[in-house]
Amino acid sequence: MSAISDSAVIARRNLIRMGRIPEMLIFGLIQPIMFVVLFTYVFGGSIQVGSSNSTQAYREFLMAGIFAQTVTFATAGAGAGIADDMHKGLIDRFRSLPMARGAVLTGRTIADLVQTALTLVVLAVVAVIVGWRTHENFGKVLAGFALLLLFGYAFSWIGALIGLSVRTPEAATSGGLIWLFPLTFISNAFVDANLMPSFLRHIAEWNPFSAVVQACRELFGNLPPGFETPDAWPMQHPVWASLIWSVVIILVFRTLAVRKYRRATG
Amino acid sequence: MPSAIYAEGLVKSFGDVRALDGVDLDVPEGTVLGLLGPNGAGKTTTVRCLTTLLRPDRGRAVVAGIDVLKQPDAVRRSIGLSGQFAAVDEYLTGRENLQMVGQLYQMRAKAAKERAAELLEQFHLTDAADRPTKTYSGGMRRRLDLAAALVVSPPVMFMDEPTTGLDPRNRQQLWEVIKQLVSGGTTLLLTTQYLEEADHLAHEIAVVDHGRVIAQGTSDQLKARTGGERVEVVVHEREHIQAAAEVLTGFGKGEVTVEDHMRKLTAPVTGGAKLLAEVIRELDTRGIEIDDIGLRRPTLDDVFLSLTGHVAEVKDEENGKGAVQ
């Protein structure tokens, strides 16, 4: 029981901090908004998706990709936050208290989840302003966002492990970001993966990130006209694939991170 | 009296560095042990092992009657730790910090809130209670940190260099708080680099160097080991040094040391103030003019010097902090 209440106490602490350092939230928003605007207006007319190269088709195609990228980029924040905590005296206080051992990390990832949700709300509003529309019922759209949050939550555990493995918060930020670029670009997020060379196409189709993007496109009704869904299993069953990937990532990285945290106690 | 803190043969290495090389400690209930030594001597590492923050490679430790290695969680319920780096969240207010710590000690939210208010009052932080702690002065942060360690009034407290970096006024204030605490029956292990601090607060002092306890006893016992009192004379004129040395040899209980350039002579004596008066009279009779004379009792600085062969200098070394290796 104390695992839940302790995590809640730590999550609350991180949310209070977030409210007192609002620039963190604001900077976290600027980058995805920039991506929405740049991709929509710069690439919008020249990227073919499915059988269409209309600006509107690309706009709707793009948003699931940007949303998914945004939730994974929260990884860097989680990592930096934990790396920062680990080098402050406060972590000694936590470790000398009779609290659940994983709570420092769980509380952090829950706070990050709240931050990600806030970011998604703002981003969705911006997306609607630039012309993004959904074509499915409200329940499905909501399910799409829930899937994004779950995936983002899973990734914050990767961030936690990175944060525990590096020496400085700066290293956690860059270490949390570099691998996200290939992960999010060698995928179906920004272009139709069917048009990639076959080697990259296979990677893109099995990329967990692509599964989430594909699932959201289905749930939002954003698949472009004439789009051929690839035969790979995760592309055919993207919701299941996203759920499985998320759960696997949480199980593996949570275990590793909690173990690493405990080991840091000597 | 039963031991509140007991350690036997604690060994801890970081790579090639042997931070602890067999530390033995025994602190009876309700007493204060001062762990004295320079940076890098192993003080902080000892505290970290005893407070479950670090697992020793070898040895045994029992705190509040509980085996530290076998039941770390039970130990955590019975101890309070106040570190050398004020361990509070700088973006949370003082009140929020204390409430959070209370809840993590498994108090209910309401009880934690009440306890926080009590402690803020007790530590004179009520006015600043609802400001983020990054706006606090160094002394206020230390007080808050100490308050956080006292949330559940633990029977055993550890304080790692509680006053390092504080100005004399704040140090004095913190000492008063610590004395009050101890008078309530709490057992305290306190590390310090300040000999004066150990002298002031501790019932017993353990001198640590190179990961070992090299001497232990009351302040007076340690001083006695270094030798008793001495008479120190500074003569006015250089040519009187010889004559003064003869006088001191007559009264002294050992060799007279002379620091020529300071015109200072020192001799071990017994007999206290009465003897001092006799020395002054004798010097006067012989027409030896003096600038200064005094009876000097050994300080803990002398103790440290005679025990370790070096003064308690502050070396900038790793001291077992390394949260993530």
pLDDT (tens digit per residue) in B161-204: 888 878 888 888 889 888 988 888 899 999 988 888 888 899 99
Q: What is the ipTM of this complex?
A: 0.87
In terms of pLDDT, which residue wins out, B266 or B96? B96
CB B256 within 8 A of CB B245: yes
* Whole-number Å distance between alpha carbons of B43 and B314: 13
Spatial CA neighbour of B301 closest among B180, B233, B207, B187: B207
Inspect the interface and report whether the beta carbons of A167 and B324 lie closer than 8 Å. Answer: yes
pLDDT (tens digit per residue) in B81-118: 987 776 899 999 999 999 999 999 999 999 999 999 99
Of A6, A17, A165, the CB nearest to B91: A17
Least confident of A104-118, B6-20, B158-172: B158-172
Chain A interface, mutation test: which of B57, B81, B103, B145, most A Cβ atoms within 10 Å? B103
**CA dihedral angle for residue A8, residue A10, residue A15, residue A19, rounded to 10 degrees:** 140
Tell how far CA B105 is from the center of its chain. 27
On the CB side of B73, CA atoms within 13 Å amount to 8
Tell how far CA B271 is from the center of its chain. 30
Interchain CB contact of B111 with A (< 8 Å)? no
- Which residues of chain A have a CB within 8 Å of the CB of B52? 95-96, 265
In the predicted structure, residue B315 carries a pLDDT above the cut 50 = no
Q: How far is B73 from chain A (nearest CA, A)?
A: 6
CB A245 within 8 A of CB A214: no
Task: Provide the token pair at B242.
Answer: 């010889």
Strands laid side by side in the B187-192 sheet: B79-82, B156-160, B187-192, B32-36, B204-209, B212-217
* Contacting residues for B240 by C-beta, under 8 A, at least 6 apart: B288, B289
Interchain CB contact of B324 with A (< 8 Å)? yes
pLDDT of residue A154: 96
pLDDT (average), residues B268-273:
80
Q: Count how many residues are written for chain A.
A: 266
Of B87, B106, B132, the CB nearest to A90: B87
**Chain mean pLDDT for chain B:** 86
First vs last Cα of chain B: how many Å apart? 39
Radius of gyration (Cα) for chain A, nearest Å?
19
* Amino acid type, B266: T
Q: Per-residue b/e over A21-52, b at no fewer than 16 CB within 10 Å?
A: eeeeeeebbeebbebbeebbeeebeebebbeb
pLDDT of residue A148: 97
CB B252 within 8 A of CB B227: no
Per DSSP, chain A holds a count of helices (H) and strands (E) of 12, 0
In the predicted structure, residue A266 carries a pLDDT above the cut 60 = no
- Which residues of chain B have a CB within 8 Å of the CB of A93? 81, 83, 87-88, 101, 148
Q: How far is A112 from chain B (nearest CA, A)?
A: 17
- Which residues of chain A have a CB within 8 Å of the CB of B189? none
pLDDT (tens digit per residue) in B244-254: 888 888 887 77
DSSP 3-state assignment of A3?
A: helix
Where do we find the tokens 């309700």? B30
Q: How far is A97 from chain B (nearest CA, A)?
A: 5
pLDDT (average), residues B239-264:
86
- Which residues of chain A have a CB within 8 Å of the CB of B73? 98
pLDDT (tens digit per residue) in B135-167: 999 889 988 999 999 998 899 999 998 888 788
pTM comes to 0.82
Spatial CA neighbour of A258 closest among A2, A81, A82: A82
**Chain mean pLDDT for chain A:** 90
**Contact residues, A window 74-113, toward B, CB-based 8 Å cutoff:** 86-99, 103
* Whole-number Å distance between alpha carbons of A256 and A159: 11
Inspect the interface and report whether the beta carbons of A95 and B52 lie closer than 8 Å. Answer: yes
Distances (CA, A) of B294 to B227, B245, B252, B273: 16, 15, 14, 9
Q: What is the band of A210 on the pLDDT scale with cuts at 50, 70, 90?
A: very high
Chain B interface, mutation test: which of A16, A92, A164, A259, most B Cβ atoms within 10 Å? A92
Inspect the interface and report whether the beta carbons of B87 and A87 lie closer than 8 Å. Answer: no
Interchain CB contact of B87 with A (< 8 Å)? yes
Strands laid side by side in the B66-67 sheet: B17-28, B3-14, B58-63, B66-67
Inspect the interface and report whether the beta carbons of B87 and A164 lie closer than 8 Å. Answer: no
In terms of pLDDT, which residue wins out, B74 or B269? B74
Mode of pairing for the β-strands spanning B204-209 and B187-192 = unpaired
Interchain CB contact of B58 with A (< 8 Å)? no
* Contacting residues for B71 by C-beta, under 8 A, at least 6 apart: none
Q: What is the band of B1 on the pLDDT scale with cuts at 50, 70, 90?
A: low
Inspect the interface and report whether the beta carbons of A98 and B55 lie closer than 8 Å. Answer: no
Handedness of CA A189, A193, A195, A201 (dihedral sign): positive
Interchain CB contact of A133 with B (< 8 Å)? no
Handedness of CA A51, A55, A58, A64 (dihedral sign): negative
Where do we find the tokens 């420092």? A104
Of B74, B88, B324, the CB nearest to A264: B324
CB B27 within 8 A of CB B3: yes
Most confident of A5-19, A84-98, B259-273, B278-292: A5-19
CB A218 within 8 A of CB A243: no
pLDDT of residue B310: 62
Interchain CB contact of A264 with B (< 8 Å)? yes
Of B73, B76, B86, the CB nearest to A89: B86
Q: What is the band of A43 on the pLDDT scale with cuts at 50, 70, 90?
A: confident
pLDDT (average), residues B291-300:
82
pLDDT of residue B86: 66
Q: How far is B324 from chain A (nearest CA, A)?
A: 5
Q: Where are the beta strands (DSSP E) in chain B?
A: 3-14, 17-28, 32-36, 58-63, 66-67, 79-82, 156-160, 187-192, 204-209, 212-217, 230-235, 257-259, 264-268, 290-296
- Which residues of chain A have a CB within 8 Å of the CB of B100? 9, 12-13
In the predicted structure, residue B309 carries a pLDDT above the cut 70 = no
